[in-house]
Copies of this chain bind each other. A is one copy, B any other.
């Protein structure tokens, strides 16, 4: 069966730039364009050259992309020709393979927001599209507010779409600008439009305001469009655009689509999707959405013990697609709901070999339950779980030993008559036979303690020089300042490896200290640092640290 070609158009760099809290630098834009290009996206919309210096610069050089690099901008103003419109000129001078014009297609909007006649708007569309086509560009027209416009005045909305198509636009893109259109409405309206303009020339641009941007895009596809616009991780104004990170796997892995459509992303490239999604978050310094479909760290996580044992028997039981197909992985949560199967699978994943019948497994399970009852949670703290398991298996060396620490925070008037806070920490550590004492200041008590602790670890110092504390989370249980505090700390090393550790105590400083020392121990263990002694088991360890 011949499959139709479906084109993916990414607007992360244009509509995604409207996301609250997102500001792209030029290096960001270049890096993201290459991520998209490598993934196999057909069109990459880079921005609005002429509207701001950054976008103008981005479009001034050849970016070396395989994808069609697309410039976005408005159609010409009424009352002048496209040739005499500086905005259009800026677009046509940009180094782009394609130009995507935006034009209103809702009569009410044309009158209200533009304040021009309905025919003037049609004329602007025709003239702008023709001018760009004459310059050899592939032309797209985004019909803004298409669905709301079609509901209000179908003839006029259709006239806008037809004007673009007849003037030579390769694509007429139907935009649900306000994001309020429902899938069954999209399906009906696209079906009607496809009677006038071939589906091969139609695109969909959906927003997520009713949490249905993905469903709207697929509804439009079923009704005939052959281009889908969206963004990585669903970035975009308000609630975001259609999420390509969810759409791509569905298009490739679900037979209902994979059997009918061919896209530029291969199943091999699909295996990089999770990494691409995380890299984007990394670039933008956003916390990844753990629950994101396909690529979230919890997308293939199983917490309930009964489910976990079934997943081990047959993954298809609770997985709609194999996690590896999108470069993600299965995660059986080690929680108090979990059983032996979860733990064995988790140990295997972490490379800790242990036999199903090993009596130490029962001890580990018991220790885990005790810890979780105290407030520890290992589902987000792989490195601490790894250490706990290794300690019970008796294979964690004691690299260093903290004799004592002291942290002080003082708030008082300084010499300039200002009220100021001072945080300082002193840590005394034994490394082998060597006693080391370090002091440090910090912005707060945990920062001071962390700095002092990592200031001098003697012969191990070289292993921890490249560590960077990248995340610090606190959760309080049972209310009140005397409640139990759980701290999660994430470190990263120069190689880019990240790991998370957990500490629990009524005292936030103690909890932080536990997570900090676990993190350093984990790094030393992974780096194969030479140790002074191997502790026999968990008892000795917990009595001392």
Contact = CB atoms under 8 A, between A and B. Distances in A.
A310 interface: yes
19 contacts: A20-B301, A20-B303, A178-B319, A180-B320, A209-B293, A210-B250, A212-B215, A237-B302, A237-B303, A239-B296, A285-B475, A404-B412, A405-B411, A409-B510, A421-B505, A444-B508, A447-B481, A472-B476, A474-B508
A124 to B, nearest CB: 15
Nearest to A477: B25
Contacts of A477: 25
Interface of A: 18-21, 23, 25, 109, 112-113, 177-180, 182-185, 208-212, 214-215, 218-219, 222, 234, 237-240, 243, 246, 249-250, 254, 256, 285, 287, 289-294, 296-304, 307, 310, 313-314, 317-321, 333, 377, 379-380, 402-413, 419, 421, 423, 442-447, 450, 468-483, 485, 489-490, 505-510, 512-513, 543-545
A377 B19 CA distance: 13
A194 to B, nearest CB: 17
A489 to B, nearest CB: 8
Contacts of A321: 180
Q: From A297, A446, A479, name the one whose CB has the most chain B CB atoms within 10 angstroms.
A: A479
A438 B293 CA distance: 50
Given A404-B412, A419-B544, A482-B442, A180 B238 contact: no
A139 to B, nearest CB: 21
B256 A182 contact: yes
A506 B445 CA distance: 10
A419 B505 CA distance: 13
Per assembly, the copies of the chain total 2
A227 to B, nearest CB: 19
Nearest to A300: B238
Q: From A222, A234, A237, A291, name the one whose CB has the most chain B CB atoms within 10 angstroms.
A: A291
A210 B293 contact: yes
A404 B409 contact: no
A408 B408 CA distance: 4
A300 to B, nearest CB: 7
A209 B314 contact: no
A291 B241 CA distance: 11
A478 B469 CA distance: 11
Contacts of A250: 182, 210
Given A293-B210, A304-B237, A507-B423, A480 B476 contact: no
Nearest to A113: B310
A114 to B, nearest CB: 9
A410 B408 CA distance: 8
